[in-house]
Chains A and B, each alone.
Chain A
Amino acid sequence: SLTKAYAATPTNLKIIDLYVVFAVATALVQVVYMGIVGSFPFNSFLSGVLSCIGTAVLGVCLRIQVNKDNKEFKDLPPERAFADFVLCNLVLHLVIMNFLG
């Protein structure tokens, strides 16, 4: 039932969902690795995990804005949503690169 309802979503949203799931999975891998190896250097760990979670969150934001069922964003052209997404990702990755150490 849940899978049937989900299969009805448009393909572009499913791609975004896949991207988000991948980002979260990468974050989990990093946490497990930290559990095995230890948390030094902590800034690199923090930077890596937060970059994955950050891209996941931004992906979800993009999905919210691009989703045609969402009445609040029906005036927003998807190109603008994507441009905002790219800008926010740029800032996020600039900070990540700086913090990676």
Chain B
Amino acid sequence: MAEPVANAAAPAPAPGRLRNAFGGVLCAFTLILIGVLAFSIRLFSVIKYESVIHEFDPYFNFRVTQFLSKNGIYEFWNWFDDRTWYPLGRVIGGTVYPGLTLTAGSIWWFVNALNIPLSVETVCVFTAPIFSAIASWATYLLTKEAKGTGAGLMAAAILAMVPSYISRSVAGSYDNEAVAIFALVFTFYLYVKTLNTGSLFYATLNALSYFYMVCSWGGYTFIINLIPMHVLLCIVTGRYSSRLYIAYAPLVILGTLLAALVPVVGFNAVLTSEHFASFLVFIILHVVAFVYYIKGLLTPRLFKMAMTLVITVGLAVCFAVVAILVALVASSPTKGWSGRSLSLLDPTYASKYIPIIASVSEHQPPTWPSYFMDINVLAFLVPAGIISCFLPLSDASSFMVLYLVTAVYFSGVMVRLMLVLAPAACILSGIALSSAFDVLTRSMKFQLSKLFDDGPAISGNGSPNGSSASTVNTSSSKNEKTEKSEAAPKEKQSKKNRRKDKEVTESVSVKPKKEKRLSVLPLEASIVSTLLLIALGGFYVVHCVWAAAEAYSAPSIVLTSRSREGLHVFDDFREAYAWLSHNTDVDDKVASWWDYGYQTTAMANRTVIVDNNTWNNTHIATVGTAMSSPEKAAWEIFDSLDVKYVLVVFGGLVGYPSDDINKFLWMVRIGGGEFPHIKEPDYLRDGQYRVDAQATPTMLNCLMYKLCYYRFVETDGKGFDRVRGYEIGKKHFKLTHFEEVFTTHHWMVRIYKLKPQKNRIRGKLKKLKSQSSKTSSTLAAGRKKNPWQ
């Protein structure tokens, strides 16, 4: 189908239309295949483990979706959850981003209305792969707006597989990013489409898509700051047009209103600094629009006079607004920015002021290898894409470059924002590869045709429906045909070639009269380059499939390891939660570190003290202090919170490295941030954190040490901790205020119960001998007051 049509002079719309139709069908078929690819590559965890929700945050979203499906949307909207953050509770309706839950809930409701009996869990597990397929289609649309169909298909195929996106959207990873990336790309597509067409209809759709994004993810502030930045860039580089006004102004008004509708955002949509950029650029845009309008109305001389007047008035208004804003903002200590946003702008902010944000492993800056792991080949295709965007530069391609540059900055701040970089990198790589293939196939066709027919010149194909940019210059090509092919880097093009299986890219801003000098490479170089690029694509695919299968498919609620006997499965977490749900009362409170809060409420259905939402630093610090205190003080803290059970995670027997002993220093730091009697140096020996015989007495006596290592010496007689790699310090001790009620099979989760207070307190009376048999403490009898013995 790629053979050139020999005669352009005769009107031949039929072959052109047929080819267009065939191209359209092929394009649709390719898109369907890309969708299937995006869906299937994310199914490794379901195949290797089971269809289960992963990690921590998805369990909360799953629990909320269960509630929504059981009780309906009004109950969900007004839900006050008293099973978490005891005794404070949490207003779910006002603090959760409802987009993901409502999406999955609607899918579940719709599917069940069609009498397909899918459970809520199945819908939740598979929401992410479905939306990643839709996101790759949205990437196709966005890149098509910037550079054409070929680049669009390439970018969509790359996005379907990019490991960074896979890591947050495998089947089972039921988190906000699963739908948010689709909303992000789709909003950008509608913005660029409005910019290209100037249609108010797309502007309305853009605002609605932005609303969906605000509902889904806190990262929507990226959109509402990037689009104003782009508008400013267009104005400053002289690309102002009325389409820009139509693209931006309705979005600001409708977008702000829609954002204020979502309870999580509420009035923050107009009061916080994250949104001020959009208002500022709104005002600037109006000033510029007014200036252009006046310019069109007046003669140049009068215009100059009016211009000075308008500029002064506009600037005065601008300064007044800025002054008000600055006064408002300067009065608040964080200058109006939220803690999370500040930690993005100043990477060192979180470690200085908000240890909770700094302690999350996803919030650390990425290392260089993680770039190669997450976006692989795209890391060096992206600069080529940037160059390709500049020839020629259009509004859409300038938007891509701006998106990429800001995304690269933010991905350098936090590793979890590599996810925002992924679509930008895919789009630019798609553009780069598409342009490269364009040049190479064009060269090959030109060289081959020169090789085979050096007779009459073959005139160009009838220009396809889209582009009319390059003119056909047949006479000069006849002269140049006599030259040798190897020596010619730039020649006047004699025909325009199609790419083998994609439609012609549209050139956006080349004037029709200008002759386009298209470069042509030597034949051998083109063939070798094409093969190398295809091999590059092959390496990328291999890497992506490997990353999806090995690195990013672990559900982290179930662990596996390979040994000589085969596959060993560690299902300790679910074992512990099941024990809790079967052996405790419904109203019992469980205290653990905040990591496990969501899983405990979702799977064990027990009230927890702190969970992953981490909205109350003092409450978390209370739990941290309790874990760092000696037994009696910890008992008192937990008793004041009505806690019945304490849960710790311990990996020392099997070598599970993310256990509570490794997280313990963060507990100390966060607790010490609120309660000054907890001092981090007390737990370190010479600045080193250790739990062996050289550890400090404070460390060896704290609750976390005792709960983790109680009876640990019974496992191998020596108490060798496989994670830390040495023997523990205090091996034989008894617990005075807690009793062990459950330890899982591999000792990974250990549950303790608070011992009840004794009825009578023997104050100054001497301790009777009969009591000593009941004591579990090995402390000397010289202890005077001990109400628990």
Task: Let me know if A54 and B260 touch, CB within 8 A.
Answer: no
Stretch of B97-105, B294-302, B658-666 with 4 or more beta carbons under 8 angstroms from chain A: B294-302
Task: Let me know if A92 and B200 touch, CB within 8 A.
Answer: no
Bound-state CA distance A84–B294 (Å) is: 26
B260 contact set on A, CB distance < 8 A: 43, 46, 99
A57 contact set on B, CB distance < 8 A: 249-250, 253
Task: Let me know if B200 and A85 touch, CB within 8 A.
Answer: yes
Given that A57-B250, A61-B200 are known contacts, is A5 also in contact with B208, CB under 8 Å in the complex?
no
Interface membership of B318, Cβ < 8 A? no
Interface residues of A in 1-36 (CB under 8 A from B): 1-2, 5-6
Q: Which residue of A lies closest to B261 (CB)?
A: A99
Contacting residue for B250 out of A43, A47, A58, A96, CB 8 A: A58
Task: Let me know if B201 and A53 touch, CB within 8 A.
Answer: no
Bound-state CA distance A62–B306 (Å) is: 25
Q: Which residue of A lies closest to B298 (CB)?
A: A5
Q: Tell me the smallest distance from the CB of B464 to a CB of chain A, in Å.
A: 20
Bound-state CA distance A72–B8 (Å) is: 30
Q: Which residue of A lies closest to B254 (CB)?
A: A92
Interface string of A66-94 (1 = CB under 8 A from B): 00011011001000010011011001100
Contacting residue for A65 out of B200, B241, B258, B267, CB 8 A: B200
Task: Let me know if A84 and B198 touch, CB within 8 A.
Answer: no
Task: Let me know if B257 and A92 touch, CB within 8 A.
Answer: yes
Q: Tell me the smallest distance from the CB of B396 to a CB of chain A, in Å.
A: 16
Task: Let me know if B298 and A54 touch, CB within 8 A.
Answer: no
Contacting residue for B297 out of A2, A42, A95, A98, CB 8 A: A2
Interface membership of B529, Cβ < 8 A? no
Task: Let me know if B200 and A54 touch, CB within 8 A.
Answer: no
Task: Let me know if B297 and A54 touch, CB within 8 A.
Answer: no
Interface membership of B449, Cβ < 8 A? no
Task: Let me know if A70 and B257 touch, CB within 8 A.
Answer: no
Task: Let me know if A5 and B297 touch, CB within 8 A.
Answer: yes
B208 contact set on A, CB distance < 8 A: 91
Given that A81-B200, A84-B201 are known contacts, is A54 also in contact with B267, CB under 8 Å in the complex?
no
Interface magnitude class on chain B: 20 to 34
Contacting residue for A73 out of B198, B203, B204, B253, CB 8 A: B198
Q: Tell me the smallest distance from the CB of B278 to a CB of chain A, in Å.
A: 13
Interface residues of B in 192-245 (CB under 8 A from A): 198-201, 203-204, 207-208, 241-243, 245
Q: Which residue of A lies closest to B204 (CB)?
A: A88
Bound-state CA distance A41–B338 (Å) is: 24
Given that A2-B302, A2-B306, A87-B204 are known contacts, is A47 also in contact with B257, CB under 8 Å in the complex?
yes
Given that A42-B267, A72-B242 are known contacts, is A91 also in contact with B254, CB under 8 Å in the complex?
yes
Interface membership of B256, Cβ < 8 A? yes
Given that A2-B306, A54-B250, A54-B254 are known contacts, is A91 also in contact with B207, CB under 8 Å in the complex?
yes
B201 contact set on A, CB distance < 8 A: 84, 87-88
Contacting residue for B245 out of A1, A2, A64, CB 8 A: A64
Given that A58-B200, A91-B204 are known contacts, is A64 also in contact with B246, CB under 8 Å in the complex?
yes
A64 contact set on B, CB distance < 8 A: 242, 245-246
Bound-state CA distance A65–B194 (Å) is: 13
Q: Tell me the smallest distance from the CB of A78 to a CB of chain B, in Å.
A: 12
Interface string of B11-34 (1 = CB under 8 A from A): 000000000000000000000000
Q: Tell me the smallest distance from the CB of A95 to a CB of chain B, in Å.
A: 5
Interface membership of B641, Cβ < 8 A? no
Contacting residue for A95 out of B199, B200, B261, CB 8 A: B261
Bound-state CA distance A85–B204 (Å) is: 9
Interface residues of B in 99-122 (CB under 8 A from A): none
B296 contact set on A, CB distance < 8 A: 69
Task: Let me know if A65 and B198 touch, CB within 8 A.
Answer: yes
Task: Let me know if A92 and B253 touch, CB within 8 A.
Answer: yes
Bound-state CA distance A99–B270 (Å) is: 14
Interface residues of B in 151-205 (CB under 8 A from A): 198-201, 203-204
Given that A84-B204, A91-B208 are known contacts, is A54 also in contact with B245, CB under 8 Å in the complex?
no
Q: Tell me the smallest distance from the CB of B312 to a CB of chain A, in Å.
A: 16
B253 contact set on A, CB distance < 8 A: 50, 53-54, 57, 92
Can you list 17 A-B contacts (CB < 8 A)? A2-B294, A2-B298, A43-B267, A46-B260, A46-B267, A46-B270, A54-B257, A61-B203, A72-B198, A76-B198, A76-B199, A87-B200, A88-B203, A91-B207, A95-B254, A95-B258, A99-B261
A contacts, CB < 8 Å to B: 1-2, 5-6, 42-43, 46-47, 50, 53-54, 57-58, 60-62, 64-65, 69-70, 72-73, 76, 81, 84-85, 87-88, 91-92, 95-96, 98-99
B contacts, CB < 8 Å to A: 198-201, 203-204, 207-208, 241-243, 245-246, 249-250, 253-254, 256-258, 260-261, 267, 270, 289, 294, 296-298, 302, 306
Given A61-B249, A88-B200, 16 other A-B residues pairs in contact with their CB atoms under 8 A: A2-B297, A6-B297, A46-B270, A54-B250, A54-B254, A57-B249, A57-B253, A58-B250, A60-B245, A65-B198, A81-B200, A84-B201, A88-B201, A92-B253, A96-B257, A99-B261
